[in-house]
Chain A
Amino acid sequence: MELLINVLAATVVAGTPLLLAALGELICERSGVLNLGQEGMMLMGAVAGFVATLTSGSLVVGVAAAILAGIAMSLLFAFMAVTLAANQYAAGLALTIFGIGLSAFVGAGFVGESIDGFSRVAIPLLSDIPLIGRVLFDQDPLVYMSLVAFVAVWVFLRHTRGGLLLRAVGEDPEAANANGLKVLVVRYLAVAFGGGMAGLAGAYLSLAYTPMWTENMTAGRGWIALALVVFATWRPERVVLGAYLFGAASILHLVLQGLGWNISTELLAMLPYVVTILMLVLLSFNPARTRLNTPLSLGQPYRPGR
């Protein structure tokens, strides 16, 4: 039982950065913009959060810096992909390559430094619930933020006018524009939200998961988050499930080693990536479902007054 709780809690921790980034990307894609720059934005969030925390001594400042860095990166992307109507694939890739380079450059002087990262804070009462309490409510504050973000995104998409407008823009920007919606403004906001969440996801890595900075520390999580959104068919509740599933895959090697299995770490480290591909394969058996749920204008630039 104790082992199970520990494994589940570790799963939630490993899944949290994926959850944060994927929720942001979900909103972004629901507006019709595909931002492949997740990895770059996460890295910038990670390095900004770490450097800000190290210099200011405050984790709150670090988190704020990470979110701002993510937003700044996403605005660069929005300028290219939304304003200049550039190819979204190319612009997103550019953002990732730029983010990898810039983060390594900014963080070069901070490799090897260490900070006191977020520690766990048990929520009174809630953490006393058997099993779930220890797994979900005896975690660090950023995990709680991710849960709040999930509920907020879910409510926003399902039950608010704003969510409706966002979906309208993603499904049919022409019609949304005809109804007086500022399509480009909505898309900018959605991209910026995605950037902020990716920055936060990066901060989770450098401030909570492993409180330090190393080059390329996201190790493909930004890409996994992108796959996660597809896998979740653009539904927030499925994003949560998927994120924790990937979390489980990425800590499996620790569990197996704990159980005394003698498998090479390098081979086990492949698991999350293999699982991602398997998930995409699984999804392909039901193409109709994917087609039905994909925001119709996803990936297509919109020029008003064409």
Chain B
Amino acid sequence: MLLLERRPVDSTLMRWTSPVLALVLTVITGFVLFMAMGKDPVEGLTFFFITPVSDLIGLAELGLKMAPLLLCAAGLTVCYRAKLWNIGAEGHFLMGALGASVVAVQLVDVSGFWVLPVVLVAGIVAGMLWAAIAAGLKTHLNCNEILTTIMLNYIALNLLLYAVHGPLKDPYGFGFPQSVMFGDAALLPDLIPGTRLHLGLAFGLLAAVSVWVLFARSFIGFQLNVVGQDQRAAAFAGFSARRLTWFAFLVGGATAGLAGASEVTGPIGQLVPQVSPGYGYTAIIVVFLGRMHALGIIAASALLALTFIGGEMLQIAMNMPKAITGLFQGLLLFYLLTCDAFIHYRIRLKQPAIKPTPKAVTAATQES
């Protein structure tokens, strides 16, 4: 029988091979899935993973989807390092989009270089305010942050729906629940002319670098790490868990808020109900897959951005349901956590209870 045994020291090798292994297992599962559906698996996987990024337009689209994921994931990394289970990036994102839109709609006819920064800051502030609710509930009322942030996500979604059906609705929009198109001054500039890739990706990369600096070079990053690893040790060292919680949540809210603001001022250009295909939730996978490390989350956000485009590609090219995106994302996280178990544990053949053979005895002594 197989026995799971705790490693004396966590395996660094496994820590970094685990995401790769998870991806391999996901691809294998995808292969089997395509066969089961009677589709050509090689063709399917090519359409999913390769075709979308085989030209400049495709790469630009990848960057476009990477931007919100990277921004949300950077903020969540700060929370998760401190073991604050903030699931609310989706809500912060939606509020960021809503906050930016409220300001942008007032400034449709205004031109000036200050319009865009004001709109973006509005999004950041809205995201931070939304995160502050969860932070306050956590630090002052001791409410579980998982439950409160999830609930706040649903409330944020309904607020956004209310806005596009009510106060922000375009009166000349033929009854569609959406805001007016923003003025040119409120739109993010393109990074590569001729594509939809905009400045949001630069924000995302900047956020990832900032996370690296925070944890590698700053005292507050060190404090966050300590709180995450051992709360008692942090308390003895005099680190204020309350202050760190507020810091982590506000950073999470700010980055996800900026992501939402960049989305409405970037590729969309107005507020629509389906502003997020679940970026805030997918960012959770990005953080885990990226090992809560700046470089890791950049790579992971590229991979998960690919699952969004790949899903759309499969829908167009092979008439498969778009939901395959969510399925692949779920599988990936699932395999990742399974593989992660082997960071702390290793498998050993259970030794027979009766009369150990000399071989097993030597193995056991070598073990200890």
Contacts and interface: CB of A to CB of B under 8 A. Distances in A.
Interface residues of B, number: 47
Contacts of A90: 288, 337
Interface in B298-344: 321-331, 333-334, 336-338, 340-341, 344
A104 B321 contact: yes
A303 B142 contact: no
Contact of B151 (A83, A91, A102, A220): A220
B331 A98 contact: yes
A287 B288 contact: no
A101 B141 contact: no
B152 interface: yes
Contact of B323 (A36, A83, A105): A105
Interface stretch (B40-48, B117-125, B157-165, B358-366): B157-165
Grouping DSSP codes into helix (H, G, I), strand (E, B) and loop, the B interface class, with mixed when no group exceeds half, is helix
Given A101-B323, A276-B147, A284-B142, A84 B345 contact: yes
Contact of B334 (A76, A107, A109, A267): A76
A95 to B, nearest CB: 8
Name, among B85, B159, B288, B337, the residue most crowded by chain A CB atoms within 10 Å (CB to CB).
B337
B144 A97 contact: no
Contact of A101 (B165, B329, B344): B329
Nearest to B322: A108
Contact of B165 (A83, A98, A266, A273): A266
Contact of A264 (B144, B147, B166, B328): B166
Q: Which residue of B87, B141, B159, B329 has the most chain A CB atoms within 10 A of its CB atom?
A: B141
B148 A280 contact: yes
B137 A280 contact: yes
Interface string A93-134: 111011111101101110000000000000000000000000
B158 A102 contact: no
Most chain B beta-carbon contacts within 10 A, residue among A36, A76, A99, A280: A280
A306 interface: yes
B330 A270 contact: no
Given A86-B337, A220-B154, A227 B142 contact: no
A284 B141 contact: yes
A178 interface: no
B330 A99 contact: yes
A-B pairs, top 10 by smallest CB distance, nearest first, are A101-B326, A98-B330, A108-B321, A104-B323, A84-B341, A266-B162, A101-B330, A284-B141, A101-B327, A105-B323
